[in-house]
Amino acid sequence: MSEEKIILRTLVRRHLADTITPVAAYLKLRDQFRHPVLLESNDFASAESTFSYIGLEPLASFEARNGTLRTTLPSGAEHRETLQNWNELPRRMKAFIDRFQVEEKQFAGAVNGFFGHTAFDGVQYFDTLRFDPAKRRFDLPDLHYCFYRFIIAFNHFQQELYLLENVPEGEQSELDR
C-alpha cells in the first residue's frame, strides 16, 4: 500500500437549523449521493455531545470483514488483502488515517474526519478473542469507516448546521451543486 499523503482542503458554511432535523435532511439527500450515512445523537443534555452527522460521497474507506482488509482511496484505487495477524489492524488503521492531511479538523465543535462503526465482531482485532466464522448470522463488516466529501453536522444545542466539503487536491468544490 503506497503511503503518499492525501491533501484535502475543507470548505465550511454555517446555517440555522431550527426548521430541519437530521432525519428529514437524510431522507431528502440519501438518493442523490453515494453511500450516505446518518449518525444521530440522542443526548441533548450538554453542549459537548449534541451533534448529529450526515456523511455523503465517501472519498476513502477502511473496512475489515472476517479477517479481510479493504481500503479505497480518493483516486479510486482499491486494495484488498487477508490479514495474517488480526491484531495488526489497529496499527494499519492508524497509518491509513494518518495519510489524510486536512487543513482543519474541527469547526465550532463539529468534527471532520472518518465516520463509521465497529460491530461486535470487531473486538477480534483488538483482543485475543476469536469467533467461529460459521456462526456469523449476518455478512456485515466488522468495522467500516469512511472519509466523506460532504459532511452535514447538526448542532442541536445551538440549532445550527455546518456544511463541510473536503475537496481533494486538484479538484473543484461541489458545495453548490
pLDDT of residue 137: 83
Distances (CA, A) of 52 to 17, 39, 90, 157: 12, 6, 26, 11
6-168 classified as CATH 3.60.120.10? yes
| CA–centroid distance for 146 within its chain | 3
pLDDT of residue 46: 67
Successive 10-residue mean pLDDT values, the chain, 177 residues? 82 91 96 94 70 96 96 96 93 96 71 91 90 85 97 90 93 87
pLDDT of residue 107: 65
What does the domain layout of the chain look like in residue ranges? 6-168
CA neighbor of 56 nearest in space, from 153, 157, 172: 153
Cα(110)–Cα(35) distance, rounded to whole angstroms? 21
pLDDT of residue 158: 87
pLDDT of residue 4: 87
pLDDT of residue 129: 85
- The residues with which 107 forms a beta bridge, in sequence order, are 110
